Structure 1
């Protein structure tokens, strides 16, 4: 294997600048002029465009790590994912103790049994015959032993169809917010940083928040959100529930901001909604395998304007009067 050539000073400078831009643009504190300045920087030099593409690739691998840390992994592209992760954790200040025992989202997600990338869905058949459909940007651990069948969803979303077990082992799904006990069923689980959402398509599950004695039996046709401390009231499901499994996102009077946040999980870069239209109610079916077509449908059907600064920076704006 040929030796890897060191980066030229100009390439290092471009990567450093790209990391700084990423840190700003993902901070939530950027302003309109920052977008314009970023576009000018991006278009000014092919090295800037290459550096930004590399930062995007690393961002997809280590989502949630500050860009100034993630960029260092670019210099380790021939190492394994585990080696890159080790260096990232050290650079992030986790240290040796963090590597050996930390339950950081970064470590657990990257080292989980199964992963999906941006826009990817993956069908799994587990050892007991149960089936899982893993949605875009998801990380799942599968832990079966003699006593139980356990899935731990670190992040993202999945649809589970449980199979009967010859050893009668219980089937559990866990996430940071609590546990879901399957009662011979088909159900979906979405794990977010602050909540977990469960929808039952067949039969029932029982939900146990992590830090509450409260539990809930959720029946087919219902969905609920919960955090470690409490459960929301169960609500009836509709055609939009788990519609992602068919490759379409169905919206029924859904706020535009929420819809775009969902579409953003299936595309690279930033998908921004102008604050003045986040509450606009939208209905329709939008393809997840072609989010540009979904955006075009929104633009033509709801009097909106799609502004593309680059393929990685798209804004949905109100159409001028």
Structure 2
């Protein structure tokens, strides 16, 4: 494509009419009047953006400029270049499918590595940076979000049963959490969660009616509470929510601004509906339960009894087990430690 304009030299006060040829490869060939022809490679010149009818300028490597009013021709040539480069890129990708496959595999591997190793460690670091006093606020907001989402409803247990387990919990709560967040007990009914117990960041442990009705011994209740107290001590719920909030974690780690972390509590209902604690989380909580039961002279078999009963129950889905996998491995590991 040929256009006409004026060539302004950089090293002297000289301007002269000039023709320019825009090649398909992106080269710019200048033919100044009464001067030698110049060929400038595609990567060596730049053209200004179009602003109305203002002349466009091509900036050359030596500081000279080529000015032209043929804006429409330049726009058409640039559009053709973009289309051609896009076609070349598509052809290159199609002819290099093996490299594409390798790249996809590498991206998949990096994503897996980040999800399995990097993100959990980042969540642990961010959780460690959050003051313990924030746990209470986070937990209170999370409980409010659970109630507002109707994931849980008021307990339907007899007052005598609730009074019995509150009294039992009061006897053990100090020993369960001597140096960590104070623990509290709440009863809730939930069709979605079934037989379950959930530890919130504030130290509140929610126990569903279905789980209470499945207990055969008070020491089974104590064993479950010891496990949930382990989750509180290691801040697992907070870390689990953080792991599901990549953007928030990235911003918090990059800027040190933790003020928005509490807002993540609004996502707790969705997290608890599909709570899949990592094996490391469960091992930490199980270890905490085993240590406590031994310290109190309680047979650790009580814990495996309730886990086994939940797994064998056919009347309702074993929600507690689905939120704390893998159960057979955990029971075997617990029995090995007996």
TM-score under structure 1 normalisation?
0.23
Higher relative contact order (CA 8 A, sep 6+): 2
Structure number with higher strand proportion? 1
TM-score under structure 2 normalisation? 0.22
Tell which structure's C-alpha radius of gyration is larger: 2
Bigger fraction of residues in helix = 2
